[in-house]
Amino acid sequence: MRESTGGTRERIQAVALELFTEQGYEKTSLREIAERLGVTKAALYYHFKSKDEIVNSFVEDRLRRMDELIDWARSQPATLATRRALITRYADAMFDSEQPSVMRFFEQNQTVLKSLAAGMQMRERMLGLADQLCRGDDSPAAQLRAALTLFAVHSSWFAVRAPHITDEERKKIALEVADELLSKIGEAG
């Protein structure tokens, strides 16, 4: 039975992400990705011409999710309840079944990501999310709290080093810290 083109692309993305996380982006070749998949390099080239294209493909999904969150937040009132819902939706998206691997890749390959166009797009979307988290309070403190709220979700992948913590426990801790920051946005200072 022949696998669909979409399924093949997803397999390539999964294997590449696994190798990039294990060995690092720079140390992983397209040949190694093809070998782990059990396909020829030519078959891999049919779907992706470079490692950058592979990275961009899984970043694009994340950017799409972030755009959807930003659009949703814009349609909501600028309240603490909206801020909490936004960071919860963001954490849910980051902790879904495939995202932990993507988060680990981002954490371990920051230098590479900064050099790709996708890295700049990620930065723009993060700032867009932060803007929505502090909408209604344009103080510098609110802007910093909003950015740190997002960082609480991200940093839980490398800052929380408890040996046997589950992803659900990690997310719960991140959201507790994020809520402490969110609750200060909009307060008269």
What's the pTM? 0.78
Torsion from C-alpha of 46, 94, 153, 55, nearest 10 degrees: 0
Which one is predicted more confidently, 175 or 93? Answer: 175
What is the chain's mean pLDDT, rounded? 87
Rounded CA separation 140/158 (Å): 27
pLDDT per position as a tens digit, 126-142 = 999 999 999 999 999 99
pLDDT confidence tier of residue 5, bands split at 50, 70 and 90: low
Sorted by where each starts, the structural domains of the chain and their CATH numbers stand as 1-49 (1.10.10.60), 51-182 (1.10.357)
Q: Which residue has the tokens 């166009």?
A: 117
Percent of residues in the chain assigned helix, strand, coil, to nearest 5: 75, 0, 25
Residue 113 pLDDT more than 80?
no
Mean pLDDT of 157-180: 90
pLDDT confidence tier of residue 101, bands split at 50, 70 and 90: low
Q: What pLDDT shows up at residue 52?
A: 87
Q: How far is CA 142 from CA 20, 41, 110, 146, 185, in A?
A: 35, 49, 26, 6, 5
